[in-house]
Amino acid sequence: MLKNTLLKATEAGAAELKRFFNGSFVISNKEGINNLVTEADHAAEKAIMQVIQNDYPDHFILSEESGEIIQDSTYKWIIDPIDGTVNFANGIPICCVSIGLEQDGKMIMGAVYNPIMNEFFFAQKGFGATLNNQKIEVSKKTEVIKSCLVTGFPYTYLDAPNGPIQVFEKLIRKGVPVRRLGSAAIDLCWVAAGRFDGFYEHNLQAWDSAAGFLMVEEAGGKVTDFNGYAYSPYQPHLIATNGKIHDELLGIVNGANF
């Protein structure tokens, strides 16, 4: 059963995070100066892929460190073995395994597990979102000025109009709390759980958001690209909110005065 495989694979990856966290492990650099990959990322990815390939050898897999395993299948597993690798490498307990499952190009299930904080988020299309098996819902705030937001910044500076720094500055100058946790998957789950009212980021990859965006939608929130269109994890821009502040935050991200 797909759900069972998703949960097993997430647990298997998370066991590797727990095993290596705060221990010693090899750290290497990808492109950019602080874009890290650790021994734990590779171990977690291997453990996750073993579970999925054992249960469903003919499914398509897209995983951050290994790339694509192309199969002619309606199912595609999208894996981030550790989201929040810089946190992980520094012993900061905000990191997770994130796995989304697509069927015919639509996200049908997602799991995000932070084993250090013991928080397991799960969502299934049409069946809601849960944290440690308890139903979660987005917040009820209606104005950006009264909201608590979260964002992330790319590893290399993105020089564009209304770039990450400009939007951040605009919000901060008005006194809006904008946090930076360092894990897009956890940012999304925390919007789903109502801890944050909104999240935006300018440069994400499919594996960062695949599971988390379904979590927000299934918790009653809204997720779009920067044009306000239905979100696709195959483009970089993401705004996820409780729904009520969505249009206002979308305007701010696109340069509106605030």
Residue among 128, 154, 194, 236 that touches ligand IPD (CB under 6 A)? 154
Per rule CB under 6 A, is residue 38 in the interface with ligand IPD?
no
CA distance 258 to 203: 23
Which amino acid would we find at residue 67? G
Residue 125 CB neighbours (<10 A)? 15
> What is the closest distance, in whole angstroms, from the C-beta atom of residue 93 to ligand IPD in the complex?
14
Site for ligand IPD in 182-221 (CB under 6 A): 182-184, 201, 203-204, 208
Return the number of the residue (144 or 206) whose C-beta is nearest Ca ion. Answer: 206
CA distance 103 to 77: 9
Return the number of the residue (214 or 245) whose C-beta is nearest Ca ion. Answer: 214
**DSSP H or E run through 101:** strand 96-103
> What is the closest distance, in whole angstroms, from the C-beta atom of residue 235 to Ca ion in the complex?
16
> What is the closest distance, in whole angstroms, from the C-beta atom of residue 154 to ligand IPD in the complex?
5
Residue among 102, 197, 208, 217 that touches Ca ion (CB under 5 A)? 208
Q: What percent of the chain is helix, strand and coil (3-state, nearest 5)?
A: 35, 25, 40
Per rule CB under 5 A, is residue 80 in the interface with Ca ion?
yes
Q: Which stretch binds ligand IPD (CB under 6 A): 42-50, 164-172, 180-188, 226-234?
A: 180-188
Site for ligand IPD in 49-88 (CB under 6 A): 80, 83-85
Alpha helices in the chain (DSSP H): 2-20, 39-55, 85-89, 164-173, 184-192, 206-218, 246-253
| Token representation of residue 47 | 């453990």
Would you say 233 and 212 are in contact if contact means Cβ atoms under 8 Å apart? Answer: no
> What is the closest distance, in whole angstroms, from the C-beta atom of residue 47 to ligand IPD in the complex?
16
Strands of the sheet with 75-83, listed across from one edge: 67-69, 60-63, 75-83, 96-103, 106-114, 119-124, 128-131, 134-135
Per rule CB under 5 A, is residue 83 in the interface with Ca ion?
yes
CA distance 130 to 43: 27
Per rule CB under 6 A, is residue 164 in the interface with ligand IPD?
no
Per rule CB under 6 A, is residue 139 in the interface with ligand IPD?
no
| Token representation of residue 22 | 């705060």
> What is the closest distance, in whole angstroms, from the C-beta atom of residue 36 to ligand IPD in the complex?
7
Count the residues of the shown chain that bind ligand IPD, applying the rule CB under 6 A: 14
Site residues (CB under 6 A) for ligand IPD?
80, 83-85, 152-154, 182-184, 201, 203-204, 208
